[in-house]
Amino acid sequence: MPRIRPSTIWEAHRLHKALPLLLPECRAIPIALQELQWIRNELGDKKYKIWKSCRLRYHRYPLQYILGTQPFGPLEIDCRPGVLIPRWETEEWALDLAHRLPPDKNLQVLDLCTGTGCIPLLIKRLRPQFAVGAIECSPVAVKLASQNAEKLGIHIDICTEDVLKCPPLPHKVDFITCNPPYISRSSFVGDTAKSVQLFEPKLALIGSLEFYENLCDFWIHQIEAFAYEVGTLSQCRYVESRIAADPALREQWRVGTKKDSNNKERVVYGYKTISAKGIDWHTLFRGFGGPTC
């Protein structure tokens, strides 16, 4: 990463005394000004508050934890230290997916590793007659997700379970969404942004294939379709190869990959060709993504 030039720092200082503190994270003056504006808009014009947040930002503390919220589609999700901040990539695919789900059917949707509860809350808001549930193993996140549900006035069932321990389901589930931890240990050190490394929970970040393995071993036998967020192409390939390796699954399932608007593989999804609920998953997912390549 190139260093910040002293002239840039001085220029920032001329515009606002606290602006140089935002430069290490923002890198450029226009972005830093924008951030300062957001801080001002949401925390008020109190001088000490602005300085405090700028100093936190200088130490790479995430802006969403300072402001306390992150927009997610039409929702405003509360964020707190100890819970992963919803990303724009997740927002993108979750919005696309939620708009594709049939509004007149009575689907049972379950979100695993829910964190702030952003995905299930969004689905329930856009498709109110669905029964939406969420599973999360961290008690802090469960508390925050319930708080978010209450604040937004959306009812979802949240329970504290470890997804990897294959918890028994109280009722049948048709569709599973999940944003599992997918950063490998090696790229967490080298490739991940400092603010994420330092301040976001590792429990929600570091993982390799265990959740995809768990999907193919356990969850896939109970559902009709799934959408899992991924970090790399290899995770998509893994899911595809596992399904292709099982003759029974290969007959029933189709798998695909969706890229985000930055042209990176972001979601691996799969659906049954014959649905017991009478949902045409094939047309539903048409245009959502494509075959893994």
Interface ranges with other proteins (CB under 8 A): 31, 34-35, 38, 62-64, 70-71, 73-74, 76, 84-85, 87-89, 91-92, 181-183, 187, 191-193, 195-196, 200, 204-205, 229, 231, 260-262, 264, 266
Question: Closest approach of Cβ 82 to other proteins, in Å?
Answer: 15
**Contact partners, residue 271, CB within 8 Å, separation at least 6:** 224, 225, 226, 253, 254, 281, 282, 284, 285
Cβ distance to other proteins smaller for residue 39 or 132: 39
Cβ distance to other proteins smaller for residue 90 or 108: 90
Q: Are the beta carbons of 262 and 215 closer than 8 angstroms?
A: no
Tokens 């799969």 map to which residue? 270
DSSP letter for 260, please.
Answer: -
Rounded Cα–Cα distance for residues 205 and 197 (Å): 9
Question: Closest approach of Cβ 261 to other proteins, in Å?
Answer: 5
Cβ distance to other proteins smaller for residue 231 or 272: 231
Tokens 């969004």 map to which residue? 122
φ/ψ region of 6 (left if φ > 0, alpha if ψ in -120 to 50, else beta) reads alpha
Cβ distance to other proteins smaller for residue 169 or 196: 196
Paired tokens of 179? 């944003």
Paired tokens of 60? 């790479």
Q: Are the beta carbons of 117 and 157 closer than 8 angstroms?
A: no
Cβ distance to other proteins smaller for residue 77 or 107: 77
